[in-house]
Amino acid sequence: MKKLIALLFIAGMMTFGIGNVVFAQAAETATTETVDTAKPKTFHEAMKERFIEGGPVWMAPILLTLIFGLAIAVERILYLTLSGTNTTKLLTGVENALASGGVEEAKNICRNTRGPVASIFYQGLMRYDSGIEEVEKSVVSYGSVITGRMESGISWISLFIALAPMLGFLGTVIGMIQAFDDIAAAGDISPQIVANGIKIALLTTVFGLIVAIILQILYNYIISKVDSLINSMEDTSISFMDILNKYNKK
């Protein structure tokens, strides 16, 4: 709940900040164009201008999906990056600790190592006195908990990926309706009458697709990161159980 509130606060601040900057610069952009129309526009300037032309009513929801999606994606990427552990070094440390100081020394190694793999090992060592079977159950159960934590929030990113183009298509439909309303009101089908409505229709679709593409790339990266960590956890857990079995037979 606290994480959700923090994300909402950050997204709200970013939305109002970006909105104020974009729309406050609209007049400046217009005056700049009248002064120097020959100067080529940068990509950022062109995108800002198109965003303003699309209108705040339809562009703001698309911008919100981008901000919320990016906030969750960045948080997940940071979390998963910090969850990485040098598993080879950890396994060697646990094995040496068991050989020299026993289970308590191995617990200290896991306690002082960052990452979910060390936490899984620690939970298993906590139940070493109950037998190897209990250790294995603990490793499997806590591994499922860690997997759930790593996948937390990813479904929201997939929601925003689907939502962004849908909002763009909604703007497209509304823009076309506006264009036909203008035709009906004027009784004419001249390009000047329908241009504004069609422009809004196309711009909302373009920005919705851009947002979906950006979030899709980040989503796939996060999924691959999660899969890599899960595979590492499973492989390392097997090696950890082999070490415990060898130590238990001594």
Residue 221 counted as domain residue: no
What is the pLDDT, as a whole number, of residue 202? 79
**55 in a domain, yes or no?**
no
- Mean per-residue pLDDT over the chain, rounded: 78
At 145-182, the pLDDT tens digits run: 888 888 888 999 999 999 999 988 888 787 777 777 77
The Cα–Cα gap between 229 and 239 comes to 15
128 domain residue, yes or no: yes
Q: Residue 129 gets which letter from DSSP?
A: G
| Calpha distance 194→191 (Å, rounded) | 5
Residues 6+ away with beta carbon under 8 Å from 239: 91
Where is the domain boundary, 116, 133, 150?
Answer: 150
Q: How confident is the model at residue 28 (pLDDT cuts 50, 70, 90)?
A: very low
What per-residue confidence (pLDDT) applies to 65? 92
pLDDT at 23 over 70: no
Structural domain includes residue 184: no
Residues 6+ apart with CB under 8 A from 123: 138, 139, 142
pTM for the model: 0.73
Q: What is the pLDDT of residues 199-234, one digit of tens each?
A: 777 788 888 899 999 999 999 999 999 999 888 888
Residue 145 in domain? yes
Q: How far apart are CA 217 and CA 227, in angstroms?
A: 16
Average confidence (pLDDT) over 69-88: 89
pLDDT at 77: 92
Across residues 63-75, what is the average pLDDT? 93
Is 12 a domain residue? yes
pLDDT value for 217: 95
Whether 44 and 91 map to the same domain: the answer is no
Whole domain around residue 24: which residue ranges? 1-48
Instruction: Quote the pLDDT of residue 222.
Output: 95
Render pLDDT for 104-122 as a digit per residue (tens, 0 to 9): 888 888 888 888 888 888 8
Is 13 part of a structural domain of the chain?
yes
Residue 123 domain-assigned? yes
pLDDT value, residue 114: 85
Contact 149, 193 (CB under 8 A): no
Q: Collapse the DSSP code of 157 into the 3-class scheme (helix H, G, I; strand E, B; otherwise coil) and give the result.
A: helix
Domain count, the chain: 2
Rounded Cα–Cα distance for residues 219 and 48 (Å): 25
Q: How many residues does the chain have?
A: 250
Helices and strands counted in the chain (H then E): 9, 0
Q: Is residue 32 pLDDT above 50, yes or no? A: no
Indicate the range of 27-41, 64-78, 197-211 predicted with least confidence: 27-41
* Distance from C-alpha of 39 to C-alpha of 83, rounded to nearest angstrom: 48
- The structure tokens listed for 95 are 């094995």
What is the SS3 assignment for 222? helix
